[in-house]
Amino acid sequence: MKKLLLAFVYTALVTGANPSIAAGADILGLRDGDMKKLIVHTTPAATSDAPFDLEDNGGKTTLADYRGKYVLINFWATWCAPCRKEMPQLNTLQKEFGGENFEVLTIATGRNSPEGITRFFDEAGIDSLPRHQDPKQALASQMGVFGLPITVIMDPEGREIARLRGDADWNSDSAKAIIKALVQPEG
């Protein structure tokens, strides 16, 4: 009887009693192509509270300010060829899914001049993504970002639920299905 009860509790947790695990299980099966590199956490991880620079105005913010929606955080640099390749795709993802439930947050980490970022965004036609910076790599370091690009998916509670190391095709059907499953769950 005890084993049956434990099996029931486990099944309830996996199938929906714990939304974070259920969301992870839902997106796990949607990974195909480059998205197979997306590591989906069975237990959400804490994110950093290190401040990073807001574009243009010189202010600072933290990831806590983005709670309440799913956030795809892309750590990148102007000198990183794979980062430059995927940035237009992330721009398209933001245009398609960005809003009340989802946002693509781009953070240039390390040495990236604001002028260089602006020039790259202009040349690549990036018009829907922020030009935030982490010049001293405090946020990147606390988030375990070693090498670029690194993309982290944060849930509405501000916890990391998935991570992808390296570049990916963010215009792929798999990437779009994963984002859609997170922001438009079946009800």
Domains of the chain in start order, with CATH, are 2-183 (3.40.30.10)
Give the mean model confidence (pLDDT) for residues 39-59: 92
Decide if pLDDT at 7 tops 70: no
Residue type, 85: K
pLDDT at residue 8, rounded to an integer = 35
pLDDT at residue 23, rounded to an integer = 53
Whether the Cβ atoms of residue 106 and residue 76 lie closer than 8 Å to each other: yes
Decide if pLDDT at 13 tops 60: no
Q: At what angle do helices 173-183 and 81-97 cross, to 10 degrees?
A: 50
Instruction: Return the structure tokens found at 18.
Output: 């714990």
- The model's confidence at residue 25, banded by pLDDT at 50, 70 and 90, is low
pLDDT at residue 185, rounded to an integer = 67
Give the mean model confidence (pLDDT) for residues 52-60: 87
pLDDT at residue 58, rounded to an integer = 76
Q: Which long-range contacts (CB under 8 A, 24 or more apart) does 125-128 make?
A: 125/88, 125/91, 126/87, 126/88, 126/91, 127/91, 128/91, 128/94, 128/95, 128/98, 128/104
Higher pLDDT, 79 or 18: 79
Higher pLDDT, 160 or 10: 160
Give the mean model confidence (pLDDT) for residues 30-36: 95
pTM over 0.75? The answer is yes
- The model's confidence at residue 56, banded by pLDDT at 50, 70 and 90, is confident
Give the mean model confidence (pLDDT) for residues 148-169: 97
Give the mean model confidence (pLDDT) for residues 104-124: 95
pLDDT at residue 184, rounded to an integer = 83
pLDDT at residue 24, rounded to an integer = 54
- Mean pLDDT in the chain? 87
Q: Which residues contact 12 (CB under 8 A, 6 or more apart)?
A: none
The region that residue 16 occupies, defined by phi over 0 for left and psi between -120 and 50 for alpha, beta otherwise, is left
pLDDT at residue 10, rounded to an integer = 35
